[in-house]
Each structure stands twice: as structure tokens, then as C-alpha cells.
Structure 1
Amino acid sequence: MDYRYLGNSGLKISEITYGNWLTHGSQVENDMATQCVRAALEAGISTFDTADVYANTKAETVLGEALKGERRESLEIFTKVYWPTGPGGKNDTGLSRKHVMESINGSLQRLQTDYVDLYQAHRYDTETPLEETMQAFADIVRQGKALYIGVSEWTADQIREGVALSRELGFQLISSQPQYSMLWRVIEDEVVPASKELGVSQIVWSPIAQGVLTGKYQPGQKPPEGSRATDEKGGADMIKRFMNDDVLTRVQNLKPVADEAGLTMAQLAVAWVLQNDNVAAALVGASRPEQVHENVKAAGVRLEPELMARIDDVLGDVVERDPARTAENAPRTRVA
């Protein structure tokens, strides 16, 4: 495992980071989830990412149990706040001071820790003054409940505003967590240049495009039974943008490229995002320990420029590059 600095900070994280979004507390039974976490630790993964909204707080509970007994100082634990939790009352969502302060306490209890290494705004809240949110984050950092602050799916302008306020208030906003993969490159034109300028790193989610880049989905065929594309709990909605024959055919044509690199297609996809020097880590989930063992083989891989160019040629115009898609993915109003 290789480790990278997160933003302009002294914090090092594992470049393959274990995420438990669509698995713990919903798709995967607790004992299997624990086996996956153990496999991650054995592979040298020290960084674990979750959120209070995942499985409506259950994912944090499962991760806390799985990490129980580990040396806390050797781990980097990340979580997030924004989306509705609990019964979904009027203040159970967003980035108001009330919701943020209550949410950090709930997350710490479920994760069985005194602090998280990174606390992230899971989306931008258009209905709460940014000053209010940033003041709440500043207080959480001063209380020792979070060491650093990050954001997720914020635009370049929103990141600029957030970093400016964080500096005024005396804490570090060091990370952005966007979707990023060979097929989804919307951060490259605006978010990445702004982040480099501001000392912010990317922790990217869905580097395998919800499983599409593994090549297991064949054009003209039904998705395999039990795959994410058949998951009605949320996975199918997320993956449907890639489930067309043009995309799937081009993905199949990546197989010779992966073979030449000596990688599986999933490893190639993870290695590809890690070639971007603004990416500190690729978030990878797992429903089986074997998937963890396979994914970590992408750590430390260097893809030659000629190979990167071939990937671009194979995928062609199915790649989404429009930076406006970041703003489109954010709620216009606070979700209740």
C-alpha cells in the first residue's frame, strides 16, 4: 500500500481507501462486512470512509464494530453530514448549525471513537448561510471532535468560498470527495485546478463506475443476478447512466489494455484515477474480502502515457466531461 498526503496538510492516508456506501448495513450482512474490513486492514488500508446517511446510520455502526480493538492512532476515519437521517424531521438534514452539531455527536457514538480524522459536508446546502456551516465546523475542530474538514460534490466556486472562510476561522478544509472515473471526468476542468491552487485533494468515489468498468455488464444482455444494476435499494439508480450498449461495448474494448498492463479491468480503473496527482485516494467498497484483495493491487501502479492515451481512444465520446454536472448533482433545495 502507498500513502499520500491529504491536501495541504501533514495527514497521510492510504491511496486505496475503504468505503462502505452501498454495502454495510444494507447489501452485506454484518459478519461479511467485518471480514471485508479485516481484509482491508491486512492489505495495509488504514483509511475508512462512511457517512451518517448510509443505511440511515447503520453503516457507521457496522464500521465502528468492525474497527473495535484496532489502535485508533493507526487509523484515519472519515464520515459526512448533510442528507436526512433518523425520522427525517425538518432539522434532520442540511448543514445548519443544529444538524451539524447533533450529527457529529451521533456519528462519534456509532463509530465508537472520540474524534474523526475528516468530517465532510456531503453536499452544499443552498438554504443555510455558508458562514453558519463553517462556524459549526470550526467549533467541532476546536472541540477535538474532527481534525480536518472536507466537502463532497461541491463546485469549484463553492470550494473557493469554503476554503476562504475556513482560513478566516482558523481550521483546515483539505479535501473534496467527487465522483471520478474513466467514464466520469467532470471535475477535471474546474474542480481540480481550483483544488490544486487551494491545497485541496480529491478523495474520489466510484472509480469503477459502480462496477461498469469491471466489464461484467455485457452489451445487449441482462445484468447479472445480484449485481448493483439489479439493486433496487439505490444501486440501480446510480448505475443506469452507464447502462447503454455504446458505453458497455467500449468498456469491453478496454480488456486488451488491462491485459497489457497486467491488471484486471477493475484494477486498471482504480489505477487510472490514481494517476491524477490531485487525487489522494480512490474509494473502493467491497461485498466480499476477495474484492478487497484484488482492488489493492492497483496501489502503486504507474500507467504509461501511451496506455493512458489508448484508454482515451477506446472510450471516445462516451466520457462525461461537462463541469456543470457537479452542480446538477447537488440538491437545489434542502432535502427533507
Structure 2
Amino acid sequence: MEYRYLGNSGLMVSCLSLGGWVTYGGQVGPEVAQQCMKTAFDLGINFFDTAEVYSGGKCEIDMGIAIRKFGWKRSDLVISTKIFWGGKGPNDRGLSRKHIIEGTDACLKRLQLDYVDLLYAHRPDPDTPMEEIVRAFNHVINQGKAFYWGTSEWSAQQITEAHAVAQRLNLIAPLMEQPQYNMFHRDRVEKEYLPLFKNFGMGSTIWSPLASGMLTGKYNDGTIPTDSRLAIQDNPVMQRLRGNLESEDGRVKIAKVVKLRKVADLLDCTTSQLALAWCLKNPNVSSVITGASKPSQIEENIKALQIVPLLTEEIMESIEEILQNKPAQEYNFRKS
């Protein structure tokens, strides 16, 4: 396993991590979650990601059970959770000081932990003043309930505003952003956030590296496997993604995945491993959050680490020729 510093901090996170999203507490039971987390830990993954909204809090519960069951040393783990959607009450959502503090306490209770390493603002909150948000996250850190705080799917402008507030008040600024990033979703990480990486030393823990499974190639024939996330019927996000898959844009992307398979064959890997390695190639990516409903998927994902050194300039150019979506001419991946 490779470990990378999270932005300009001294914290090291595994470059591949395991997230819970719709899987733990929802798609699979606690026993499978435990098996997946143990496999990940045994393979060197130290970073596990969840959120208060994942499966209505059940994801945190199941991940917390696994942590206790295996008796892992707390310093060997980097645990993150996210605050925004905590319930149906008027103060159970958003980034008010009240919800950040109470929501964090609820997360820790479900995880049965004294603290999390990383605490994210799961989305921006235009209804709460930025100073209130920054002060609240600093309060949680000062209480020892989190070590670092960050953002998820914030704009560069919003993150810059948070840094300005923190600097003015001599407070801790957000260290990391958790954006979507994959071969089909590139603009924010490769263009919009570049000043953040350069000026603030921001880290990034990216999600959906396989574009909700599209980059695995399992949807190439137009069918949805019954054990896949997209087969979940009562999830509005999955319903939207199924619609995207069946759209004209979806068909164009699948055609690109078919071509990417030839590049993967050349490197003797799967398209999933190629897609993960491509994300890891970006020097501004601290960790790639993966999902898994079975331990074997984690074992396959780990093999992507062997593919990163094979992504030569020539291979990267061949990938760009297939994707045809490079957002910024001035941006280039650092050579490995």
C-alpha cells in the first residue's frame, strides 16, 4: 500500500480507501461489512469513510461494530464522517453551529468512537454564514472530537471564503475536499480546484472513481447486474443514475469504456483497475475512495497500485484520445 500526506498536513492516508455510502447498513448486512473492512485493513487500507446520511446512520453503526470487533489500534485508523443531512427536523440538516455540534455527537455515538480523524461539511450551506460554519468546525476540533475538517462538493469560491474567514479569525481552515472525480467527471479537480491545491495545500479524497460502476465495464451490454448498486430500486440516486445510463450520453460513455478495455488489456488489467490507477496518477489526489460489497472486489481494486507505474506518457495520451474531455490545456499529470 502507498500512503500519501493529506494535503499539507502530517496525516498519512492510504491512497486507496474504503467508503460505506449505500453499501454498508443498506445493500449488505453487518457481517459482510465486517469482512470487507477486515480485508481492506489487512491489505494496508487505513482510511474508512462514512457519513451521517449513509443508510440513515446505519453505515456508521456497522462500521463502528467492525472497528470494535477486530480491536484495531485507533492510531492505525483514519476514520471520516460527514455532516449535513442528519434527519427530518428543521435543525437536523445544514451547517448551523447547532447541527454541526449535535450531528457530530450523534455520529460518534453511532460509531462508538471518541473522535473521528476527518470531519466533512457534506455540502455547502448558503443559509448559514461562513463564519458560523468555520467557528463550529473549530469548536468540534477544540473539543477533541475531530482532528481535521474539510468540505465535500463545495465550489472553489466557497472554499476560498472559508480559508479567508479562518485566516482573519486565526482559526483552522478546511484541509481537504471530497469531490467526485473519474475519467468522465474531471473539471472540478483538474481545473476549478487547481488554485486551492497550489495556494492552500488542500488535499482531496475523491469519490466515484468508477463513475458509479460504468468504468467497470459491467454495463457494457446494457443490462444491470442484480447485485450492483444501480439495481437498488428504492434509492432516488440510483434511479437517476439508471436513467443516465440509458441516455444518449450514457451510450457514448459506454462506447468509450469499450475502447478503454483495449488499453486495459494492453496493461494486463481490468478497466476498473485502469480507472483507479488513472485517478491515482493525479498528484493532487490524496486518496481514492472505493466501495465494495464483497471482499474480492477490494482485492481486485488493490491491484490498481501495480498499474500506476505503467501509465506512461504514451498510455496517458492514448487514454485522452479515447476520452476527449480534458478540461484544461495547461494541466498535466506529473510524471511518475
Q: TM-score under structure 1 normalisation?
A: 0.90
Q: Report the secondary structure of 1:165's partner residue.
A: helix
Give the equivalent residue in structure 2 for 1:307.
315
Structure-1 separation of matches of 2:119 and 2:48: 12
Equivalent positions of 1:110-259 (< 5 A) are 110-167=110-167, 168-187=169-188, 188-219=190-221, 221-232=222-233, 233=235, 234-238=237-241, 240-243=243-246, 244-259=250-265
Distance 2:27 2:133 in 1: 32
Residue matched to 2:60: 60
Shift of 1:240: 3.9
Please give the residue correspondences for 1:263-274 in structure 2 after superposition, counting only pairs within 5 Å: 263-274=269-280
* More displaced stretch, 225-234 vs 172-181: 225-234
Pick 1 or 2: higher relative contact order, CA cutoff 8 A, min separation 6.
1
- Choose from 277, 281, 296 the match for 2:302: 296
Displacement after TM superposition at 1:186 (Å): 2.0
Give the whole-Å Cα distance in 2 for the aligned partners of 1:71 and 1:239.
40
The letter of the residue matching 1:274 is L
Any conservation in 2 of the 1:183–1:320 contact (CA below 8 Å)? no
- Structure 2: segments with no counterpart, 5+ residues: 329-336
Note the alpha carbon deviations across 1:73-121, whole angstroms, 9 max, x for none. Answer: 11000110012x23x1111100000100001101111111111111000
Amino acid in the other structure paired with 2:302: V
How far apart are the structure 2 equivalents of 1:97 and 1:49? Answer: 23
SS in 1 for 2:204: strand
Structure-2 change in CA distance of 1:255 and 1:5 (3 Å): same
Residues 209, 239 of structure 1: 8 Å contact kept: no
Q: CA 1:239/1:13 → structure 2, altered by over 3 Å: closer, same or farther?
A: farther
Q: Which runs of 4+ in 1 moved over 4 A?
A: 319-322
- Provide the rounded CA distance (Å) in 2 between the counterparts of 1:93 and 1:190: 27
Q: 1:5 to 1:15 in 2, by over 3 A?
A: same
Deviates further, 186-195 or 287-296: 186-195
The range that moved more, 145-154 or 170-179, is 170-179
Deviations 1:304-331 (A, max 9, x none): 1111111111122xx4959xxxxxxxxx
- The CA distance in 2 between the partners of 1:213 and 1:242, in whole Å, is 12
CA distance in 2, matches of 1:20, 1:192: 28
Structure-2 residue corresponding to 1:329: none
SS of aligned partner of 1:216: coil
2: CA distance between counterparts of 1:148 and 1:19? 18
8 A Cα contact 1:36 1:288, kept in partner: yes
User: Residue 268 of structure 2 is aligned with which of 258, 262, 266?
Assistant: 262
Displacement of 1:247 in angstroms is: 1.2
- How far apart, CA to CA, are the structure 2 residues paired with 1:239 and 1:195? 33
CA distance in 1, matches of 2:321, 2:274: 15
Is the 1:156–1:194 contact (alpha carbons within 8 Å) kept by the matching residues of 2? Answer: yes
* Paired letter, 2:166: S
Give a deviation string over 1:34-93, Cα, whole Å, max 9, x none. Answer: 10001100110001010000011110011100111111011000110012x23x111110
Question: Is the Cα contact below 8 Å between 2:162 and 2:173 reproduced in 1?
Answer: no
Partner of 2:332: none
CA change 1:255–1:192 in 2 (3 A) is same
Would you say how many aligned residue pairs link Structure 1 and Structure 2?
A: 317
Q: 1:14, 1:306 → 2: CA distance?
A: 27
Q: Identical aligned pairs, as a percentage?
A: 44
**Letter aligned with residue 218 of structure 1:** N
Q: Tell me the CA shift for residue 262 of structure 1.
A: 2.4
* Counterpart contact for 2:78–2:117, Cα < 8 Å: yes
Question: How much is the aligned-residue C-alpha RMSD, in angstroms?
Answer: 1.6
Gapped runs of 5+ residues in structure 1? 323-336
Cα distance in 2 between the residues matched to 1:290 and 1:228 = 16
